[in-house]
Amino acid sequence: MAAAARRAWIAGVTGGIGSGKTAFSRRLAGRSGHLVDADRIAARLTDSDRTVRKKLAEVFGERIFKASGRLNRGLVASIVFDSPAALRALNRIMWPALVRAIRAEIRRLHRQSPGTPLILDMAVLCETGCDRLCDTVVTVHAPMQLRFRRLRESRGWDDGHIRLRMAAQMSDKDRMERSDFIVDNDGTPAELGGKARDFRQLLNSAFPGKPVSNPVRTEKDR
């Protein structure tokens, strides 16, 4: 009897804004891993999912959509980061749809190429429960001063806006307590790439493969 096909590991990568989690995720995926970018999936939902768009319009009004039909993300940000109630309302709409879409994408990728490692890049990995879909969770961490500098340079935000964004996220302490590994991103891009290569080797050794018949874990086995 032929051996059952087996899938590679799923690593959930999270981190606060400006930590460099996406840079680490891309390096971890490299040329031979699947990268599931939660931000891109969320953007797809807000731009094309009728149910999500209808709910957003009911709560925030049609004004949040541009003439092109795309979501005005800057306007939405100005609304929700000034109001905890508005942010909670946004999350109640987005998170369930986002989790469903991520689950579907993981299933699709495992059917397509079960032996390929999968990296889930997601700022709200733990808040949404998507950490339970992963074999391991890693938090990318960077000093606060460095994060502020990165965000000022890359996004053009002032310190007040950065603080609002950070305050809306899970604390670094809580995030790290729910992680299996912590990667410090306080050096150069080359150093981060080296850490990603080392971490990938570690995961390849720790998780040699799981049956494809159970492609998405529902509980962690810590």
Residue 87 lies in a domain: yes
Return the axis-axis angle of helices 38-48 and 84-112, rounded to nearest 10°: 110
pLDDT tens for each residue of 184-215: 999 999 999 999 999 999 998 888 765 443 33
Q: Which tokens is 66 given?
A: 């541009």
Mean pLDDT of the chain: 89
Question: Residue 64's domain is classified under what CATH number?
Answer: 3.40.50.300
Residue 217 lies in a domain: no
Q: What is the C-alpha separation between 74 and 63, in angstroms, rounded?
A: 12
Residue 11 lies in a domain: yes
Residue 170 lies in a domain: yes
Residue 191 lies in a domain: yes
Residue 22 lies in a domain: yes
Nearest partner of 24 among 132, 145, 179, 139, judged by Cα: 139
Tell me what the mean pLDDT of segment 78-86 comes to: 91
Tell me what the mean pLDDT of segment 12-28 comes to: 96
pLDDT > 70: percent of the chain: 91
Domain that holds residue 46: 6-211
| β-sheet bridge partners, residue 137 | 12
Q: Which tokens is 134 given?
A: 């992963």
pLDDT at 209: 63
Q: What is the C-alpha separation between 30 and 10, in angstroms, rounded?
A: 14
Q: Alpha helices, DSSP H only, in 70-143?
A: 73-80, 84-112
User: How many domains does the structure of the chain reveal?
Assistant: 1
- How is residue 5 annotated by DSSP? P
pLDDT tens for each residue of 38-80: 999 999 999 999 999 999 999 999 999 999 999 999 999 999 9
Residue 217 has pLDDT above 70, yes or no: no
Tell me what the mean pLDDT of segment 12-36 comes to: 95
